[in-house]
Amino acid sequence: MKTWILNGSPRKMGNTSYLVEELVRKLDGESKIVFAYDSAASACIDCRYCWKNDGCSIDDAMQEIYKDIEESDHIVLASPMQFMGLSAPLLCVASRFQRYYAARKFRNIEPFVVPKKGALILTGGGDGGTKHAVAVARLILKEVGADLLASAMSLGTDTLSSREDTKALEEIAAMAKILNRA
């Protein structure tokens, strides 16, 4: 099994990354983590190339990401909450999933024959809600052929580190069990 993880956190040693690493330790098979903040992928420019053609007109780091997604069994989105939403760099990468939407909508092609398992990891402090972030994550996962089957949330990280958040760590363990099922 292959799991592709898009980490939208700027901090490689922060709360989101900690939960991602905990998940990876519990997963069977291969895992690949892409840090959105480090990605050389640019945002979708709405050129509409994908409306009539397979692929994307922009030849950049997304070509490898597309290959990884298409070869993966599981897709995990991980992000700190920023203004009750997913991080901007994560959304930048996800904007390029437009090619999969266009395949379905305009070319009547299903890009993913076998459904993928999807999961979401959210962290954040402050007092915002998760409703918007979860809705956007669900839509992003849908575009890459994945159903959101599990989530783990460590909220209140301004007072409790994800490392100490027993509920979030239990959710990560449950997530791993769901993703490890064939």
62: CATH:
3.40.50.360
102, two tokens: 């266009």
Q: Give the whole-number percent of the chain exceeding pLDDT 70.
A: 99
Q: Give the whole-number percent of the chain exceeding pLDDT 90.
A: 94
Other CB atoms within 10 A of residue 49 CB: 16
- pLDDT reading at 182 higher than 90: no
What are the tens digits of pLDDT across the range 57-109? 999 999 999 999 999 999 999 999 998 999 999 999 999 999 999 999 999 99
pLDDT the model gives residue 100: 97
What are the tens digits of pLDDT across the range 4-28? 999 999 999 999 999 999 999 999 9
Indicate the burial class of 81 (C-beta count within 10 angstroms; 0-12, 13-18, 19 or more). buried
pLDDT the model gives residue 174: 98
Q: What is the domain count for the chain? A: 1
Domain ranges, residue 52: 2-180
Q: How confident is the model at residue 113 (pLDDT cuts 50, 70, 90)?
A: confident
Identity of the amino acid at 3: T
